[in-house]
Structure 1
Amino acid sequence: MSNTLILASQSPRRKELLKQLGYDFTCVPADIDESVLSSESPEQYVARLALAKAQAIAIKHHDDVVVLGSDTSVVFGQHILGKPESLSDCHTMLAMLSGNTHEVVTAIAGVKGQRFEVVIVSTEVDFKTLSEKEITHYWHTGEPQDKAGAYGIQGIAGQFVKQIRGSYSAVVGLPLYETAQLLSTFGVKSSMTTD
């Protein structure tokens, strides 16, 4: 009997990626405060949020339930770029990323009863140089509004990306390899599990 799995997210992208791995799961979004604490590194920030999301859901369930939490941040220098609230916000973020290399840091957290484990995956992304017109046009597609760093690599913005070093699926929001490894340590089986 495999453990019941809950994804602590409503993200259609995370849902799709977890489905790709062949898991049977339900989605329950966690409502937590996502403010960055002072002197917190991007790695500490995503790890704390991924764990907080998973724990917020796990506390409401039996100890045999495994909860998977995840959080992704786009990082430029030491700036953690959240979701843009306006066109001007989007301009500021994408102008920073334009022609530069940035980092996408994703944390995944597994929680089962008192046990928890957090894994952090970091990917470098190289952007082409973007014109102001391109940024404005992109904003009006509606794609950047709910994305950290104001872009979605799996959508229209894929054409801005010259190269990545690391996990593509982590940039989308859920690192496939690391997620499968983490869930197997919690005894969660997928349709791909062979034993």
Structure 2
Amino acid sequence: MDANASSFKIILGSASVARRKILAEMGYEFTVMTADIDEKGIRKEKPEELVMAIAEAKLMETSSQAEAILPKLPVGHYKMDAEPTLLITSDQVVVYEGMVREKPSSKEEARQFIKDYSGGHAATVGSVIITNLKTGFRKGGWDKVEIYFHEIPDEMINKLIEEGTVLYVAGGLIIEHPLILPFIKEVVGTTDSVMGLPKALTERLIKEAL
């Protein structure tokens, strides 16, 4: 963590428990604000463009009735503030055989997603955008991780669906879950990135924003 971490404030623009945990692990104190936007209304050809566009939409109000974060903030107040405040927004999708997967729409879809991963592989593509509310500086980036799976038995898939966490994550993909962990063959990249907030990218963007 940066030695002068106390000389700035952070707002995490996410309701994700995993992202909160990762940012706390990085040694930062922060407050949380959430955006309620229609993510499915945003479409891009490439997953890297999509996650950047959604992280950007969480910041700004678009033409839809989006509940974005920036319009809710007294930005003038942050400009006057002695210490800079950094706003972090992010997004993540899972890519399987070139197709973008978001949160499963049903238990059946979640089951199919996990069956697909069994003995195969998928990738996560995640974005981070940091906005310095004092200076207006904004920069973002994305990170990709490849995940390879052993065969996952049907009974384990059923347990995962019943437990329910997989219904609330992109692509129904959760590698740190105790039920799925034994079936992870290899992760090319970092676990924190798969969980939704790549530490190295976030740290670099924070430094640049300051």
TM category (shorter chain) comes to 0.7 to 0.9
Cα pair distance change 1:149/1:160, threshold 3 Å: farther
How far 1:151 sits from its partner (Å)?
Answer: 2.8
Which whole-Å deviations, capped at 9, do the CAs of 1:57-88 have from their partners, x for residues lacking one? 23423244321011111110221111123221
Please say which of residues 60-69 and 140-149 is displaced more in the overlay. 60-69
C-alpha RMSD of matched pairs (Å): 1.7
**1:18 matched to 2:31:** no
8 A Cα contact 1:9 1:69, kept in partner: yes
Residue type at the aligned position of 1:158? L
8 A Cα contact 2:139 2:209, kept in partner: no
Cα pair distance change 1:38/1:49, threshold 3 Å: closer
Residue type at the aligned position of 1:167? T
3-state SS of paired residue (2:126): strand
How far 1:101 sits from its partner (Å)?
Answer: 1.6
3-state SS of paired residue (2:174): coil
Matched ranges for 1:17-96 at <5 A: 17-35=22-40, 37-55=42-60, 56-59=68-71, 60-62=73-75, 63=79, 64-96=84-116
Give the whole-Å Cα distance in 2 for the aligned partners of 1:58 and 1:2. 22
**1:128 matched to 2:150:** yes
Aligned residues: 187
3-state SS of paired residue (1:139): helix
Residue 120 (structure 2) aligned to one of 94, 97, 100: 100
Give the whole-Å Cα distance in 1 for the aligned partners of 2:122 and 2:166. 17
3-state SS of paired residue (2:104): coil
Give the whole-Å Cα distance in 2 for the aligned partners of 1:80 and 1:159. 25
Give the whole-Å Cα distance in 2 for the aligned partners of 1:53 and 1:37. 11
> Percent of aligned pairs with the same residue?
27
Give the whole-Å Cα distance in 1 for the aligned partners of 2:137 and 2:111. 42
For structure 2, which runs of at least 5 residues remain unmatched after alignment? 1-5, 61-67
- What is the match of residue 63 of structure 2? none
Q: TM-score, normalised by structure 1?
A: 0.88
Larger radius of gyration: 2
- What is the match of residue 193 of structure 1? none
How far 1:19 sits from its partner (Å)?
Answer: 0.5
**1:109 matched to 2:129:** yes
**1:146 matched to 2:168:** yes
Residue type at the aligned position of 2:188? R
